[in-house]
Amino acid sequence: MAVIDGSLRVGLSVDEIERLGSGEAEKTSLRDLGYLLAEGRTGSTTVAATLFAAHRGGIRLFATGGIGGVHRGDGQDISADLTALATMPVAVVCAGVKAVLDLPRTVEALETLGVPVVGQETDVMPEFWTRGSNLPVSVRSDRPTTTARILHAHWGCGLLSGVVVANPLPVTDEADPQAIADAIVSGLAAADAAGVHGRDVTPFLWPYRPDHLRRQPRGQRGLGEAQRRCSCGNRHGLAALPTLGVEGN
């Protein structure tokens, strides 16, 4: 899903996908959609904008890396991902919350907004690079069919919020938690000193990743994460078809 030449698209060609990685595409959240559509521009969608496109396109579940949330510090920098999840009945399969955020406050915000977090074979919220430690999910599910029943019941009773399906990365791929924590603190201090805020923080932090992550090319690791998330999303999507009243092959 993306904005291509001023058109909100659900389903892209190979050429269009390559355009998104060419540097032409703008980061596009909900607030940016009107501008890009009006001016005929091209943009890659955030989780919030993807939720909107999926909802408009009749898609009930998609996979991504990690969701946005409440940023660290005393400010009110809160991702539109949370408000989108609170208002659009779509399930998001992900590796939890982006580790650079204030994870406890993000989990509390999801609870306040009525967005359940279903832990896929986990009792705690994954933290993107790691499997998480002490932030409990709303409910644990050990089978895609169980998750599908939860989604069906959640929406079937009239609730209109989305659902986070938290799928942690394998133990063998987990990064060192302390190294990640140290890198985030160092990177955020540098971002603050450089006056980098909001949506620009995450790309700014990439060079500060620990050495063991530097040794693996960004594209290679990202591809592996995408493959795992899509595989999990496919399993949940197929399991959800019968419960959501959709026929599939």
Domain ranges of the chain: 1-45, 60-243
Bridge-partner residues for 9, per DSSP?
Answer: 2
- Other beta carbons less than 10 A from residue 177's beta carbon: 15
What are the pLDDT digits (tens) for 60-92? 999 999 999 998 887 788 999 999 999 999 999
pLDDT value, residue 34: 98
Q: Which region, left, alpha or beta, applies to residue 112 given φ > 0 means left and ψ of -120 to 50 means alpha?
A: alpha
Is residue 120 exposed (0-12), middle (13-18) or buried (19+ Cβ within 10 Å)?
A: buried
**Spatial separation of the C-alpha atoms in residues 22 and 129, rounded to whole Å:** 26
Confidence of residue 240 (pLDDT cuts 50, 70, 90): low
Most confident region among 73-87, 102-116, 182-196 by mean pLDDT = 102-116
pLDDT value, residue 247: 44
- Give Cβ neighbours of residue 97 (< 8 Å, ≥ 6 apart): 66, 67, 68, 69, 103, 106, 107, 125, 126, 127, 128
pLDDT value, residue 233: 52
- Give Cβ neighbours of residue 71 (< 8 Å, ≥ 6 apart): 77, 78, 79, 100, 101, 102, 201
CATH class of 60-243: alpha beta
pLDDT value, residue 176: 86
Closest CA to 243 of 149, 144, 141, 142: 149
pLDDT value, residue 231: 59
Output phi, psi for 66, to 5 deg: -145, 150
**Spatial separation of the C-alpha atoms in residues 232 and 210, rounded to whole Å:** 27
Q: Greater confidence, 74 or 27? A: 27
Q: Which region, left, alpha or beta, applies to residue 75 given φ > 0 means left and ψ of -120 to 50 means alpha?
A: beta
pTM for this entry: 0.84
- Give Cβ neighbours of residue 199 (< 8 Å, ≥ 6 apart): 27, 29
Reduced to 3 states (helix: H, G, I; strand: E, B; else coil), residue 191 is helix
- Other beta carbons less than 10 A from residue 58's beta carbon: 9
The alpha carbons of the chain give a radius of gyration, in whole angstroms, of: 18
For 8-22, 78-92, 142-156, 214-228, which range has the lowest pLDDT when averaged over its residues? Answer: 214-228
Residue 193 has pLDDT above 80, yes or no: yes
Pairing of strands 43-45, 61-63: unpaired
What are the pLDDT digits (tens) for 194-204? 988 877 887 88
Residue 115 has pLDDT above 50, yes or no: yes
pLDDT value, residue 200: 81
Confidence of residue 249 (pLDDT cuts 50, 70, 90): very low
Residue 30 has pLDDT above 80, yes or no: yes
Q: Can you tell me the mean pLDDT for 9-36?
A: 94
* Tokens, residue 28: 């596009």
CA quadruple 199, 200, 206, 208: dihedral positive or negative?
negative
- Give Cβ neighbours of residue 231 (< 8 Å, ≥ 6 apart): none
Residue 243 has pLDDT above 60, yes or no: no
